[in-house]
Structure 1
């Protein structure tokens, strides 16, 4: 049975705001998060505006049809042969980083033609280097993620009132669009493992010419096994050295950057709330999809508190917040989330401990003037404690904003 096509309206709405503007639309995100699907939806959206198919050039550079078009010169020659319309053109390029020197051509197309350009890529370096130089102030980034919990429910054919019975599954298997419709847990794990390995191979090892991929994998697995823990380059290097492998701190630092660039992990740096400055020592790393913890570490229902923390981090990023790990004197605040002039102080827990008030106490000591909340995975905790709102994870994930 063919699955019903479900639009990811959040991203379509972002695209609509910039349709037919001079800005190049750059869609970034982890592999298999739905960028190609979004690009096809953009094509449909353009056609709905009355644009003819001859004005649209759609190319996926991971399609064998275009394997030989691997330099900007070859791409330009191909485009000149394809362009038949004298009207406005629409260029949609999927996984453009497969074309050597593509940055120069994208800027050239913008100058040479009356056109609207959309590109996707699975690496954060897409927006660094030459492209940033050529297109400063001339592009809009659309950051794509695996399914939000609301989208997850939509893919399941469930309404939001059914959310509570799906939270556990979402924490365990994550939100990749190709994983969610599957009913067999073993198949889900296999699909997740395939995505993970593809990211490590194509977006990290091959792209950066990593000479010791098994060490890279150990660094990635260390991060998966230490979600929600403060880690340092030295701590990771010492852990790997303890197994008899040689690795320098600088190599670990390089691998961490590569894993971030592939969107496999996000780095949350520490922020001194009192001193109002970012701290360079130690950080926390969160994975782009919780299913990887299960598929790679084969740990079922392990450290659920860390998974809940990871999920809250991802949702805050999805909503456009800059997210830091807070430090206030000797106390740690799980998240300091900032967007424009709004700041949130957030504690996250699987459930509030009966013998400790640490989660709320840490927030009570913070300066007034900003919203303070605790997000819990236990319905028994929901309510107010000394003016601090305690909300359930399900409600946090489904509400529009905090």
Structure 2
């Protein structure tokens, strides 16, 4: 197996090093506790190993105790004081969006200092167009996600019975005869490891010490509370968007989680709130209010929003989006360990695997049928269906929808423990678990990882 330090996100670290000194501002985003701050520390260490003087690496954590910059002027003064007269510094600014009018401050830094700038944030507000490099297109955005399945395997120290390299580029690994020995000295199949991945999720802070449900719940309670309080309620209050009802926010989260893999809208969420009489509501919240809450959840990186694409008319639609939850461990924390929707979890994980590979992903519509994922590639498009069981009604419907598409772009159905074969009409069946392990996507780009 390749050498792997579970505390180093080599996939992201290599991106930072590749983009070093390219003239753009680097923005590192993602859900809280996915390892962004650790990543930036590792980047600083890598800079030192490349010969950068330690005093030329300036890191400021704007959430740390003792940092009290409430205005853009104070922030600029602090940064300039820390940099002194040094030439060409590397500025690593953690959670700078907590500063009032941070855009003005960093615009000033960009204009007046010889610095390679890295901004770290847990809210998409960091992508504000008020920050001039965002407007001008001179930023590189790296979205840090929870562990992929290979990273999970390595983090939890599962040892394969045969040498396996990650990712599996240009070749396929047959996992039927491969077992993974856990730290308990028990051998697990790839399917069994997958279920552990679904159970625990990919948050880097989760390790074997949280193997019992009570300790796991305490950990996820802290993660969830930090996201809801710091990155939604407090952030939105600072920025004047009135998300003031924690109970409504919790109810919206619950409905969005239960709707993974389904089309929803603010209107449908509002109707469901009233049907379920959530929080003993006497009246239905305004659709605009629910839209604001849903958007805040997307901007906190707890959920991703996927727009619908009309394949026949080649147009992106503005209604009935899908939402995916960034981590299955959060799903189990909020919904209960024994309340898993296995087809939805598989679709959720495939979505984030495709995002890791750099695809722009849409949910497809072909007449009245649905395509789970429409990928934009360098060669055009790839259509992907997620399917837990090819033999059931859902599986047959997934294949039928692909057959309705008359263009020549690759059409794939990713089946849980499926075979790798051609079905008919050029439709390819692939093993979804192998896809999650990094196997090449037929017809897809290969410039990932």
TM-score (ref. length: structure 2) = 0.84
Please state if 1:358 is matched with 2:391. no
Cα deviations across residues 220-272 of structure 1 (Å, max 9, x unaligned)?
11001111111121111112123142311111111111111111111112111
Question: Which moves more between the two structures, 81-90 or 309-318?
Answer: 81-90
* Contact 1:103–1:134 (Cα < 8 Å) also in 2: no
Please state if 1:237 is matched with 2:275. no
Q: Within 5 Å, give how 1:1-400 maps onto structure 2.
A: 6-66=7-67, 68-132=68-132, 136-158=136-158, 159=160, 160=164, 162=180, 163-181=190-208, 182-209=210-237, 210-242=243-275, 243=277, 244-245=280-281, 246=283, 247-300=285-338, 302-354=340-392, 357-379=396-418, 382-386=420-424, 387-400=426-439
How far apart, in 2, do the equivalents of 1:368 and 1:313 lie?
A: 23
Question: By how many angstroms is 1:393 displaced?
Answer: 1.9
How far apart, in 2, do the equivalents of 1:382 and 1:312 lie?
A: 16
User: What is the root-mean-square deviation in Å for CA atoms of aligned residues?
Assistant: 2.0
* Contact 2:25–2:133 (Cα < 8 Å) also in 1: no
* Contact 1:27–1:35 (Cα < 8 Å) also in 2: yes
Question: By how many angstroms is 1:202 displaced?
Answer: 1.0
Question: Which moves more between the two structures, 161-170 or 215-224?
Answer: 161-170
Q: CA 1:357/1:81 → structure 2, altered by over 3 Å: closer, same or farther?
A: closer
Size of the alignment, in residue pairs? 398
Structure 2 unaligned spans of 5+: 165-177, 181-189, 238-242, 442-449
Question: By how many angstroms is 1:353 displaced?
Answer: 2.4
How far apart, in 2, do the equivalents of 1:184 and 1:299 lie?
A: 11
Question: Which moves more between the two structures, 52-61 or 238-247?
Answer: 238-247
How far apart, in 1, do the equivalents of 2:324 and 2:432 lie?
A: 17
Cα deviations across residues 61-93 of structure 1 (Å, max 9, x unaligned)?
121132x22322222222333224433211111
* Contact 1:327–1:333 (Cα < 8 Å) also in 2: yes
Cα deviations across residues 152-207 of structure 1 (Å, max 9, x unaligned)?
11212235553443111112221000114433233223212321221111111111
Question: By how many angstroms is 1:295 displaced?
Answer: 0.3
Structure 1 unaligned spans of 5+: none
* Contact 2:6–2:151 (Cα < 8 Å) also in 1: no
* Contact 1:89–1:116 (Cα < 8 Å) also in 2: yes
Runs of 4+ in 1 over 4 A off after TM superposition: 132-135
Question: By how many angstroms is 1:146 displaced?
Answer: 0.9
Question: Which moves more between the two structures, 81-90 or 305-314?
Answer: 81-90
- Partner secondary structure for residue 64 of structure 1: coil
